[in-house]
A and B are shown apart, each in its own frame.
Chain A
Amino acid sequence: MAGQGTTTAPQESGREMQARTEPARRRVIGPGLRTFLIFAVLVGLGALIFPSSYFYRVGTLVWINTLAVTGIVVLLGYVGLVSLGHAGFFAIGAYATAILPNYGIPSPLAMLAGVALAGLLALAVGRPILKLSGYYLAIATLGLGMLIWMVLSKEAWLTGGPDGMVVSGMNARNLFKMVGLKLKSAEAWYWVAGFAAAIGAAIAVNLAGSPSGRALRAIHDSDVAARSLGVDVAKAKSRAFVISALYAAVAGALLALANGYITPETGGFMHSVEMVTMAVLGGASSVFGALVGALILTALPQVLTVFADYEHMVLGGIMVLTMIAMRRGLVPFIVDLWNRRKS
C-alpha cells in the first residue's frame, strides 16, 4: 500500500530531492503559539467587519463549532477513528452547565463538572471498545449518543424534556466589565468563543508535533507498526478519545451559556453527523480544516434557505463526495493545488 506509485529510481530522486529538502528550522515562535496568533487575528478580523449583533451570534457559533470539530480532528484526523456520538459529549457539557446552577452551583464550576463527566464517560466507554477495529467505535458511539439523547428527552424533571431548558447564570459581559470594557452580550460571547477556539487549536497543534502526537499519527497509518515501536495502541486511542470528548464538552458548555437556551437536539444524532461532516469537509488532518468546515457549514445555512430544507441531503452528499473526490478535505486539497502551481 505504502509503496504505491513510488517508481522513481533512487539515483535520480536523490538529486531532485536535495532542492526540496529544507533544514530543520529552529523557530522563535512555536507552532502552537503561531496557531493561536493566527486564530486571534481571525477572531479580531471578524469583529472588525461585523455590522450587527446577528453577525456576532453567527460568529460565536462558528468558533464554538470550530472548537468541537477540533476535537474530531484529534480523533479522526490524527488517529483515524470515527465517532458518531460526539454530540452526546457536547450535550453533557451543555446540560451540566444548564442544570447545576439550578442547584446552587456556580456556572464555572458547573462547566468544569460537565467537562469532567464527559471525559470520565469517554474513558469508561472507550477503553474496552478501542481494543477492537474501527467499525466498533463508530457503532458504539452511535448507540452511546442515542442513549444520552434519550435521557435528555425523557427525563423532563431534570432537563425540561424535548422542549429544552433555559440556561441561567454567567454572562460574558461581566467578564469584560471587570476590566472596564463595555460590550454587548453578543460581542462578549463572540470574543470568549473565539478565544476558546484559539486555545483549543493551539493545544491540538502542540499535540500533533509532540511525542504523544507522533504516536497517534503512527496509529492512523499502521497500528501494527505503531505497536512494534512500543506504542500502547489501546491506551493511546483511548487518550485521544477522551481528549476529543473534552473538546466537545467545553464547546457544549459555551454554547449553553452563549445561547441561554438548549434542547436535546444538541445531543442528537444529526448534530454528531454535522460535526463529522465539518471535519471531513474542511480536512480532518488540521485545525484549519476544522475552522473552514465549521465556517462553511455554520454560515451557509444562514445564507441559503435551500440548505435548511434539504439539510440531510446536503450533509450526506458532502460526506460522500468529499470522501470520493478529495479524501483529505478542502484545506489540504487547496494547499496541494497551491504547491503544484508554485513548482
Chain B
Amino acid sequence: MSLDIDGIGIAFGGIKAVDDVSFTARPGEVTSIIGPNGAGKTTLFNLVSGVYRASAGRVRIDGQDVTGLPGHALARRGMARTFQNLQVFPQMSALDNVMTGCHMQEKSNLLADLLGLASAHRETARSRDAAMAALQRAGLAELAHRPASEMSYGQLKRLEIARALVTGCTILLLDEPAAGCNAVETREVDDLIHAIAAEGKTVVLIEHDMRMVMRISSHIVVLDQGRKIAEGGPEEIRNNPHVIAAYLGAHGAAEAEAAAHV
C-alpha cells in the first residue's frame, strides 16, 4: 500500500520541528528520509505513526485519510515501525518480544486466555512458530530464548525489525535499523530490507549510513530544520548542491562518493 504524506507539520513550544513536509512512499520501494541531526526525521515518524498528533497536514494509506488515528488503529491498517531509541520489552525473551508482534494475528479471547483453553494454546503455538521464522530471518534464531536485556544494541535493532515483520504489516517505518551494527551486520540488515521491499511492502527508512541509503533507496527525501529541501533518486540527491551544502558537507560527500564506488 502506498503512503502519502501531505504537508504534515508540528511545533513544540513555538519551534516548528516538522514543517509542511510532503512525499509519497510506494510499495516495493525503499524510501529514505535523510538529513542532519535534529532535522526532524524521528519526529516525522512519530507524526506518521500516530505517536504525536500533527498540527497540520494529512496522512493517507492508499488514498484513505488516516490522519489523527491512534497508533494501534494505524497498526491495524498495516503500519509497523521500529524505534530510534529502542522500544523493546527488556524483561521478555527475544522470542516473546517478537511473539508480542503477533497480537493482531491472534484470535484471542480473554476468557479462553484466562481459563487456559486449548484455543489460547493454539494461538500461542502459532505465534511462536511465526516469531521463530521472523527471528530466523533477522539472523537472531539462536538468541530466541535470551532475555532482550542481555542483547547488544545491533541485535535489538534487528529484534525490532523481526517484531514489526510478524505484525503482517504492509508499510514498514525503520528508524536507523543499522545503528550499532558492525560492517557485516549492516550488510545483513541491508539485505533484509531489500528482501522486505521486494515482497511488495512499502519501506520508509531513516538512516545515517550514507552508503546504505544510496545503495538500497529508490527514493530519497532530504530534511533540514524540519523542512523538505530536496527529493529524488540517489543520483539526483548526490548531485544536488542544496543537499551537499545543507547536509552532506565535506565529510558526507566523501562518504557518498565512497559508496558510489562500492
Q: Which residues of A come within 8 Å of B, CB atoms? A: 1-10, 13-14, 17-18, 20-22, 24, 30-33, 202-203, 206-207, 209-215, 217-218, 220-222, 224-233, 239, 243, 285
Contact = CB atoms under 8 A, between A and B. Distances in A.
A81 B155 CA distance: 29
A228 B169 CA distance: 11
Interface centre among B76, B100, B127, B156 (most CB of A within 10 A): B100
B103 A228 contact: no
B240 interface: no
15 contacts: A1-B90, A2-B149, A3-B153, A6-B155, A24-B95, A30-B121, A210-B124, A211-B124, A217-B96, A218-B103, A221-B89, A224-B83, A224-B87, A225-B89, A227-B72
B144 interface: yes
Nearest to A243: B114
A228 B114 contact: no
A211 B185 contact: no
A45 to B, nearest CB: 24
B143 interface: yes
Contacts, number: 164
Contacts of B113: 206-207, 210-213
B103 A230 contact: yes
A334 B71 CA distance: 39
A3 B156 contact: yes
Interface string B77-119: 0001101011111111001100111111010101011111000
A3 B158 CA distance: 13
A6 B167 CA distance: 26
Given A2-B149, A209-B124, A239-B110, A227 B75 contact: yes
B116 A8 contact: no
B100 A13 contact: no
A140 B163 CA distance: 35
A133 to B, nearest CB: 14
Nearest to A24: B128
Q: Is the interface of A mostly helix, strand, loop or mixed?
A: helix
A228 B71 contact: yes
CB-based closest 9 A-B pairs: A210-B113, A206-B116, A227-B71, A211-B108, A230-B75, A225-B87, A221-B89, A32-B116, A211-B106
A227 B143 CA distance: 25
Contacts of A13: 143, 151-152, 155
A30 B116 contact: yes
Given A206-B115, A211-B120, A217 B72 contact: no
A2 B103 contact: no
B187 interface: no
B6 interface: no
B49 interface: yes
A224 B83 CA distance: 10
Contacts of B95: 24
Contact of B89 (A22, A202, A217): A217
B167 A217 contact: no
A230 B86 contact: no
B104 A212 contact: no
B233 to A, nearest CB: 29
Contacts of A207: 113-114
A230 B81 CA distance: 11
Interface string B121-143: 10110011000000000000011
